[in-house]
Chains A and B, each alone.
Chain A
Amino acid sequence: MPSYFNPIFLQINSNDFIGLIYIFLLLLLLVFTFIIGVAIYKRRVEFKKKLWQEDITGIISQAIFYEADENEPLTITFDNKKLLHNPRFRQYLIDEVIHAMKNFSGTTTGNLKKLYGILDLDKDSFKKLHRKKWHIKAKGIQELAMMVQVKYVKEIFRLTNNANELVRNEAQCALVNFYGFKGFRFLNVTAYPISQWQQIQLLNNLQDVTYCKLDGIKKWMESPNESIIIFSLKLATFYNCFDVYDQVIHCLQNPSLQIKLNALEYLKKMPREDTADQITAHYSFGNKIIKLAILSILKEIGTERQIPFLLKQLHNIDDNIKVAAAKTLACIHPLGASFFQTHLFADEYPWNAIFLQIENERAA
Chain B
Amino acid sequence: MTILVAEDEMIMLKTIELRLKKDGHHVIICQDGREAIKKIEEVSPDLIITDIMMPFASGLEIIEAVKRKAGKRIPVIVLSAMGQENVVLEAFQLGADDYITKPFSPNELSMRVKRYIPETLTF
Contact = CB atoms under 8 A, between A and B. Distances in A.
A108 B12 CA distance: 12
A64 B109 CA distance: 14
B10 A64 contact: no
Contacts of B15: 60-61, 64-65, 100, 104
A130 to B, nearest CB: 29
Contact of A102 (B22, B103, B105, B108): B103
A104 B18 contact: no
Interface in B8-45: 9-12, 14-15, 18-19, 22
A57 B106 contact: no
Given A53-B10, A99-B11, A105 B19 contact: no
Contacts, number: 54
A105 B104 CA distance: 5
B77 to A, nearest CB: 15
A100 B11 contact: yes
Interface residues of A, number: 19
Contacts of A107: 105, 107
A260 B31 CA distance: 54
B68 interface: no
Contact of A65 (B9, B19, B102, B103): B19
B105 A108 contact: yes
Contacts of A57: 10-11, 14
A106 B9 CA distance: 19
Nearest to A60: B11
Contact of A103 (B12, B18, B22): B12
B103 A104 contact: yes
A101 B15 CA distance: 12
Q: B interface, by DSSP: helix, strand, loop or mixed?
A: helix
Contacts of A124: none
Interface string A95-125: 0100111111111110000000000000000
A177 to B, nearest CB: 15
Contacts of A102: 102-103
Nearest to A64: B15
A104 B104 contact: yes
A104 B106 contact: yes
A103 B9 contact: yes
A103 B10 contact: no
A106 B11 contact: no
Given A53-B10, A99-B11, A100-B11, A106 B19 contact: no
B76 to A, nearest CB: 19
A96 B107 CA distance: 20
Contacts of B11: 56-57, 60-61, 96, 99-100, 103
Which of A101, A102, A105, A109 gathers the greatest number of chain B CB atoms within 10 Å? A105
B108 A106 contact: yes
B106 to A, nearest CB: 6
B102 A106 contact: no
A216 B5 CA distance: 50
B105 A65 contact: no
Interface of A: 53, 56-57, 60-61, 64-65, 96, 99-109
Nearest 5 pairs of A and B residues by beta carbon: A106-B105, A105-B103, A57-B14, A103-B102, A105-B105
